[in-house]
Amino acid sequence: MLSAAGINMELENQSLLQRTITLQEELKDSQAAFILEQERAEASLKEAETAKSQWVCKICLIKEVDITIVPCRHVLCRECSASVARCPFCRLQVTRTIRIFRP
């Protein structure tokens, strides 16, 4: 009877060892997938920040651009555009300004 119990214990131990190995492999795969998703999320955040910064006025660095200068088509915020007769980027004479809206 002890030998039969010993065999059962041996099989049980092998089964538990195999299950442990399987779970460790799954954990390793999950950790790798998590790191990949984390890197993707960081890249997306960086891309969003870059896109957002493109709409910031390059003169005051505070407000969003909402005016384009004619004829050069450079963009500024309304407050900065109100105080310029020449484009601060290319120095062309401002003939008029046009309000623009962010998509």
For the stretch 65-75, pLDDT in tens is 999 999 999 99
Q: Kindly report the pTM of this predicted structure.
A: 0.56
Question: 75, 99 in Cβ contact below 8 A?
Answer: no
How confident is the model at residue 54, as a pLDDT?
Answer: 86
Range with the lowest mean pLDDT among 5-9, 17-21, 50-54, 87-91?
5-9
Per the model's pLDDT, the better-predicted residue between 103 and 92 turns out to be 92
Q: Predicted confidence band at 50 (pLDDT cuts at 50, 70, 90)?
A: confident
Residue % of the chain over a pLDDT of 70: 93
Q: Give yes or no for residue 51 having a pLDDT over 90.
A: no
